[in-house]
Structure 1
């Protein structure tokens, strides 16, 4: 474990430059919004940009909906969701979200199988959740870790302190999302619930998750496992919340290094995940174990 943590902290330091502004003084988020607008303009029958709500600054949190009927939410389709940049200094996750969108739109034009999938599916991608952190290249938003701000069965602290988190939680309840992916960095693995402190971190869906990820990991060689075992336990995370609250088949994607090559190899792996995972939320998402009070240091790194 110590060996793993040492490697992890070194890897993190290579990609974390907290509170460093852009050299040109511009808004990184504004450039992402411009790219979303361009995708919508270039694919008006497949893509629709919209806001899921606002953060504490009143900034709109923009997402792109991709389907064969994108102008409005279509509850007749299987809903899937991708969120990136909980942590503003994990820019590789933002890159992943944008490249996933490009690949999704390209697949519709060139891949007959994905044309059929899009007739049945509705993808929503939110590239930047932590806008102020992304613009400052900082992990935090108003001094808070966004990925510790969600409620859960073992959460003993106040949650929803950030409006961005409250906005996202509310949006996740607007329709059933069969699967939900949250992108982070930088380890190089796929993890799934439970990730919080409990005496049994295996959900009733453990076998199903492992069955799917055995095939997903073949695409890019990432490791996979339960979040509490593969990384370390942490309370208040999105991936645990959305599975516990809504049954969404959640995946914590930990990019290896967030490089263009890494992202290019991971995009098809996530496409395969959406292709393999169940088309409806889990009905076995109840927590039935016991909460454990963790006595070690909270590294707050994933």
Structure 2
């Protein structure tokens, strides 16, 4: 199975300088054509680049889950893992689940190997563009982030994995500008994160404590707004992984993604409001590694 996935990834991914969204769409079409009974094409909406944000619906279970990659356009390794997950889940759908896979959210950034997305207001970090309890600026400046937010609400997503490079860890909320980082579900988040890292051996921890504060990130928004069991996968140790590096990232993260969805609660968390205080003296660092 993994060799099939690796062959597919070789065909759709060269090093970062030649990333092109059209090759990702070709890869999705190939997966759909090879698995017509388990997959369905989906469109989220038009991006600011004028291209449709597309993905696959895999399976037909009652519990809806999400894998979304490349909020940051230069993190093409995350797209490779999303595509590997799509190929794997299409061959062997998760019983009782429907898994939606969006391999590229930031299309213009992906096409130019740029972290940021080009939007009417300028260059935007998509993973700082969501509302949140400590967000001070304007949100949803990107059509892509708004489309994804509408999608997870409409589809009643229960668990989500947002894929990034690089900082080998699986992280959970809260990750924004606060010292009150705990939720009522820390023990469950830790257990789910450990489930997701059996093969990778990545670190597990709170997003702010283990990484750094980031206001307006998707993973916090999904839990805060909806109670979605949201994990941030920081994969590998480079934004420019080689093909062997990407093969390893697929092999060590796809099983963890499957196990995360299998073991996550089948309904959203009930108590997902943030009840702490924002700490703007320790506001998000101007670090952009994730």
The normalised TM-score by structure 1 is: 0.83
Counterpart pick for 2:213 among 225, 230, 233: 233
Distance (whole Å) between structure 1 residues aligned to residue 224 and residue 78 of structure 2: 23
Q: Once the 2 structures are TM-superposed, how far is the Cα of residue 97 of structure 1 from its aligned partner?
A: 0.2
Q: Is the 8 A contact 1:179 1:277 kept in 2?
A: yes
Q: Deviations over 1:174-225 (max 9, x none)?
A: 0211101100011111001000011210111111111222333333211101
Counterpart pick for 1:279 among 255, 260, 266: 266
Distance (whole Å) between structure 2 residues aligned to residue 297 and residue 65 of structure 1: 36
**Secondary structure of 1:165's aligned partner:** helix
1:295–1:64 CA distance, 2 compared to 1 (3 A): closer
Q: Which residue of 1 aligns with 2:172?
A: 192
Q: Which residue of 1 aligns with 2:286?
A: 298
Distance (whole Å) between structure 2 residues aligned to residue 89 and residue 269 of structure 1: 23
Q: Once the 2 structures are TM-superposed, how far is the Cα of residue 56 of structure 1 from its aligned partner?
A: 1.1
What is the 5 A alignment of 1:88-167? 88-108=73-93, 114=94, 117=95, 120-142=96-118, 143-167=123-147
Distance (whole Å) between structure 1 residues aligned to residue 284 and residue 80 of structure 2: 33
Distance (whole Å) between structure 2 residues aligned to residue 255 and residue 41 of structure 1: 29
Pair 1:82 & 2:58 matched: no
Q: Which residue of 2 aligns with 1:216?
A: 196
Q: Is the 8 A contact 1:151 1:159 kept in 2?
A: yes
Q: Once the 2 structures are TM-superposed, how far is the Cα of residue 21 of structure 1 from its aligned partner?
A: 5.0
Pair 1:30 & 2:22 matched: yes
Pair 1:178 & 2:158 matched: yes
Pair 1:267 & 2:254 matched: yes
Q: Is the 8 A contact 1:147 1:237 kept in 2?
A: yes
Distance (whole Å) between structure 2 residues aligned to residue 296 and residue 266 of structure 1: 28
**Secondary structure of 1:233's aligned partner:** coil
Whose radius of gyration is greater, 1 or 2?
Answer: 1
Aligned length: 264
Distance (whole Å) between structure 2 residues aligned to residue 128 and residue 154 of structure 1: 27
Distance (whole Å) between structure 1 residues aligned to residue 147 and residue 42 of structure 2: 14
**Secondary structure of 1:30's aligned partner:** helix
1:291–1:51 CA distance, 2 compared to 1 (3 A): same
Q: Is the 8 A contact 2:105 2:144 kept in 1?
A: yes
Q: Is the 8 A contact 1:93 1:183 kept in 2?
A: yes
**Secondary structure of 1:220's aligned partner:** coil
Distance (whole Å) between structure 2 residues aligned to residue 250 and residue 215 of structure 1: 14
Distance (whole Å) between structure 2 residues aligned to residue 291 and residue 88 of structure 1: 29
Q: Deviations over 1:53-87 (max 9, x none)?
A: 1111221000100014xxxxxxx710000100011
1:141–1:296 CA distance, 2 compared to 1 (3 A): closer
Q: Is the 8 A contact 1:83 1:127 kept in 2?
A: yes
CA-atom RMSD in angstroms: 1.7
Distance (whole Å) between structure 2 residues aligned to residue 32 and residue 103 of structure 1: 16
Distance (whole Å) between structure 1 residues aligned to residue 196 and residue 42 of structure 2: 30
Q: Which moved more, 1:149-158 or 1:34-43?
A: 34-43
Q: Once the 2 structures are TM-superposed, how far is the Cα of residue 297 of structure 1 from its aligned partner?
A: 4.0
Q: Which residue of 1 aligns with 2:33?
A: 41
Q: Which residue of 1 aligns with 2:227?
A: 247
